[in-house]
């Protein structure tokens, strides 16, 4: 079997990107951005997760079937929050 070998340079670039995003999220937390504090923190975390999933976890190089499987877990998490939040956010 011939494995798909991802060049080391891609791993190092992804890791550098993760480092930049880590600094960014810590710096952003020093400013009070009101209601935007949490969404910005979550957005940066999503960007980090995307780098890890696509490159370290090889989803970028995976078959379409593998991508569907990888997206599946995330999809169910989205359903969990989409069904839950309208309830709690509108209850008084």
Partner 1 sequence: MNTTAHAGHVAHHFDDAEQQYTAAELGMWVFLATEVLFFGGLFAGYAIYRYWYPHEFIEGSHHLDVPLGTINTAILLTSSLTMALAVHAAQTSERRATVRNLVLTLLLGSAFLGIKGYEYYHKYEEHLVPGGNFKIPEKKSAPAATDLSADENRTPPRPEIQASVSSPIELFFSLYFLMTGLHALHMVIGAAILLVLIVAASRGAFTQAYFTPVEMTGLYWHFVDIVWVFLFPLLYLIR
Quick check: 90 binds partner 1 (CB under 8 A)?
Answer: no
Using the Cα atoms of residue 72, residue 73, residue 76 and residue 81 in order, give the sign of their dihedral. negative
Q: Do the Cβ atoms of 39 and 69 come closer than 8 Å?
A: no
Quick check: 74 binds partner 1 (CB under 8 A)?
Answer: yes
Please name the residue that has the structure tokens 């923190």.
41
Query: For residue 47, which phi and psi values (nearest 5 degrees)?
Result: -65, -40
Can you give the binding site for partner 1, defined by CB under 8 A? 1-3, 5-6, 8, 11-12, 14-15, 18-19, 22, 25-26, 29-32, 37-38, 41-42, 44-45, 48-49, 52-53, 55-58, 62-63, 65-66, 69-70, 72-74, 76-77, 80-81, 84-85, 88-89
């Amino acid at each position: 079997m011939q494995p798909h070998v991802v060049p080391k340079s891609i791993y190092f670039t992804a890791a550098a990107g993760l480092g930049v995003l880590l600094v960014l999220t810590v710096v952003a937390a020093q400013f009070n951005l009101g209601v935007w504090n949490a969404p910005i923190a979550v957005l940066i975390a999503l960007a980090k997760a995307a780098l890890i999933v696509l490159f370290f976890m090889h989803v970028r190089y995976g078959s379409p079937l593998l991508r569907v499987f990888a997206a599946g877990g995330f999809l169910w998490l989205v359903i969990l929050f989409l069904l839950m939040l309208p309830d709690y956010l509108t209850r008084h």
